[in-house]
Amino acid sequence: MADSRNGDDGATNAARTEVCEARGRLSEAAGSDLTAEFERVGRLARSVMDLCDRFDALGGITICSACGRQTGHRTMAARIRTAEKKQPTGQ
């Protein structure tokens, strides 16, 4: 989506930066212990949520600054959070 937009756009540049960071985190080696792996997975999860926010921003979805809710279709991040809540515990 970012590649089809003007390169001088701030949102586009931010999206490209997020993609580079996410790719870097994907290539990180697994943690040497449980704590290190937990931190690595947390960084990767934050990258995914950041990419969802950028996707929404590039797609024209706006968030209300007063309440923090989207003002149109459900955002990608909101869809992921809803799906996470539906996951059975213990998996």
Q: What is the pLDDT of residues 58-85, one digit of tens each?
A: 776 666 667 766 665 556 666 666 767 7
What whole-number distance in Å separates Cα of residue 19 and Cα of residue 54? 10
| Predicted local distance difference test score (pLDDT) of residue 78 | 66
70, β-bridge pairs:
63
Q: What are the pLDDT digits (tens) for 13-64?
A: 887 888 888 888 888 888 889 998 999 889 888 888 888 877 777 776 666 6
What whole-number distance in Å separates Cα of residue 15 and Cα of residue 56? 10
Helix, strand, coil share of the chain (percent; to 5):
60, 0, 35
Backbone φ, ψ for residue 63 (5° rounding):
-110, 135
| Predicted local distance difference test score (pLDDT) of residue 33 | 92
